[in-house]
Amino acid sequence: MEDRVKIPIGCLFKACYNPALEAEISRCKDQCHRYNQLSPNDREAQREILAALLGKMGEDVFITPPFWCDYGYHITVGDHFYSNHNLIITDGASVVFGDHVFIAPNCCFTTAEHAIDPAQRNAGLEAAKPITVGNSVWIGAGTTVLAGVSIGDNTVIGAGSVVTKPIPANVVAAGVPCRVLRPVTEQDRYRYPLYTGE
């Protein structure tokens, strides 16, 4: 839409007490509410709402309700995307997910950074920084990914992590703050026995 309010990236702007942004957020929250009221098995209606809500959506996308975001159109989701219950994305800036991304329950991706100075914060100033998640990434339950973070391809983020800085590709990372623990290796293929029964 041509009339969408432009949000500056990486600098303080008046995000709170801003009628134009509040109207955009209200519109988005109405769509999220409709999505969350559907039967969790009504995939067709879910896909229709997501296609209208998100900026770009690939094939085989499923977001388990409830799901909340602020604008929706700043979110890009690749193919074969799955998130479990209670995904929250505060998308003042772009949030881009690659293909084959899996997100466990109760995860939050937030592009907002509020002013540290109390007078600026009380005036409603904040900054927005983009988030990028690569291909074939697994985000563990209860993880929070903060503004300006990128996560590389094939990486696993352990449950309960708070990701404050970029995480490279092909690693296992976890913690508060999240840090790289080790690389993903061929041995990970044999971590669990493969069930061969019917």
Q: Please give the positions annotated as active site.
A: 114
- Which residues does 196 contact at the CB level (< 8 Å), separation at least 6? none
- Evaluated on CA atoms 52, 53, 56, 62, the torsion sign reads negative
Q: Are 98 and 135 in contact (CB under 8 A)?
A: yes
Q: Are 92 and 15 in contact (CB under 8 A)?
A: yes
Strands (DSSP E) contained in the chain are: 13-14, 56-57, 61-63, 67-69, 75-77, 81-83, 87-90, 95-97, 102-103, 108-110, 112-114, 125-128, 131-133, 138-139, 144-145, 150-151, 156-157, 162-163, 171-174, 179-183
Residue type, position 94, single letter: S
* Residue among 175, 170, 198, 197 nearest 186 (CA): 170
